[in-house]
Structure formats: C-alpha cells, structure tokens
Amino acid sequence: MTITWPSAKSGSPEIRAGESPAPPLKTLRVRGWRRRFACANTNQSYLRSTRGSALVEAALFIPILSLLLFGTLELARIGWTFFTLEKMMNQIARDAGVQQGINFCDPADPQLANILNYATTVTEDGSGTPILPNLTATNISVRVERVDPTTSALGVCDCSITGCDLSAGGRSPDFIVVYLPDGYTVSPRLPFMAAITPFLLRPHVRMPFGGT
C-alpha cells in the first residue's frame, strides 16, 4: 500500500511539533524498485547456480546408475542361462534313466540321440531351433557310474561285459551323469566398459538310474 503525502503548496495541514515529515512519493518508489530489482537479480543468480549444479550431478551419476542397471540385467541373464542348462540336463538324465535297453556305451544309440536332441531343440531329430544359442546335442555328454561293491567308491562304469555295456550282457549302471565337457561360453556385456573376457558355465547333474 502506497501512502501519498501531499505537499504544503497544495494546502495540506502543517506538520505538528514532534512529527517527522514523510519522504516524497517519488523517493519511496525509487527505493522500492531498487530493492525489488536487487532481489530479482539474486534469485536469478541462485537459479542459474542450482541448475548448473544439477547438470553436473546428473552427468556424474547417470553412467553409474546405467552401469548398475545393466549389470543387474546381465547377472539375471547369466543366472537364467545357468538355470536353463541345469534344467536341460535334469531332463536328459531323467529320460535316459527310464528308457528300456538304452546303450550308453554307444554314442550313436538312437534312444540317447533322441533324448539329447529333444532336450536341446524340442525335436527328436534335432531340426528345431536351439533353446540356447550355439548349444547342440553334440556339446552334451552322458556317462554312467557304478558303486564298487568292494570299496563302496563311486566310479565310472566301463563299457565291458563286466561293466555297463548292456549290448554285451553287462549290468545297468547306478547313476547317470550329464555334463558339458567344454562348458558353455557366456560373454557379459556392460555399457561404458571394455569387452569383458568370456567365461564358461559348467553345470552337471547326477541322477540314479531307474531303467533296466
């Protein structure tokens, strides 16, 4: 609210003793304008400084946040790959353990070949798309084990008439082991980082043999 003090020339009452005359209206307006202009300049400088600090902080933290985000996704992808391999091998060991007359000593045994193809491509002839890239039935190996009755030690069952060669009259194994001899290569990918050295996943499954 602006108070206007009329001058003595306009017929205003005289100033009483003890009272101080008010400053002219023009002086009040100039002083108020200067005060408002100074505050406006201060606010603009503060806003420019705040915006500049926010940009610097964003430039520093965006690469770190991106690395954490993509690193989490990459760990999840590697974990899913390992779980898929392990599940695939469980299926191979379970299916092979209940087959009648399967010959583990013959790598070209039709039943074993069908089991490996179905686990990796969901087709018995191996013509389907691999569940995991670059993984085929030839990358997976199956071996049989037997407990030694003398030492009670678990060892590889040899392919002979006294071993696990069913075609030669051998006995059935005690366990089936499914594994990846050369492993499965995984190549992690992270932004803002040089290429990470690939590493191998080597899951394996041992399951009791239930066939005859």
Domain residue ranges of the chain, discontinuous segments joined by + = 71-208
For residues 62 and 54, what is the distance between their CA atoms, to the nearest angstrom? Answer: 12
State the pLDDT at residue 33: 47
Residue 75 has phi, psi (to 5 degrees) of: -65, -40
Measure Cα distances from 111 to 18, 60, 100 in Å: 119, 59, 9
CB proximity list for 18: less than 8 A, separation 6 or greater: none
Q: Are 36 and 30 in contact (CB under 8 A)?
A: no
Query: How deeply is 178 buried, as exposed, middle or buried, from its count of CB atoms within 10 A (0-12, 13-18, 19+)?
Result: buried
> If residue 185 lies in a helix (H) or strand (E), which one and from where to where?
strand 184-186
Higher local confidence (pLDDT), 104 or 166? 104
For residues 104 and 110, what is the distance between their CA atoms, to the nearest angstrom? Answer: 10
- Extract the tokens encoding 1: 């609210």
pTM greater than 0.75: no
Instruction: Tell me which DSSP letter residue 181 carries.
Output: T
State the pLDDT at residue 115: 95
Closest of 204, 205, 188, 208 to residue 196, by C-alpha: 188
Per the DSSP assignment, residues forming a β-bridge with 208 are: 175
Average pLDDT, the chain: 80
Instruction: Tell me which DSSP letter residue 101 carries.
Output: S
Higher local confidence (pLDDT), 67 or 202? 202
Q: Is the pLDDT of residue 194 over 50?
A: yes
Q: Is the pLDDT of residue 24 over 90?
A: no
Higher local confidence (pLDDT), 87 or 11? 87
SS3 186: strand
Closest of 212, 207, 210 to residue 91, by C-alpha: 207
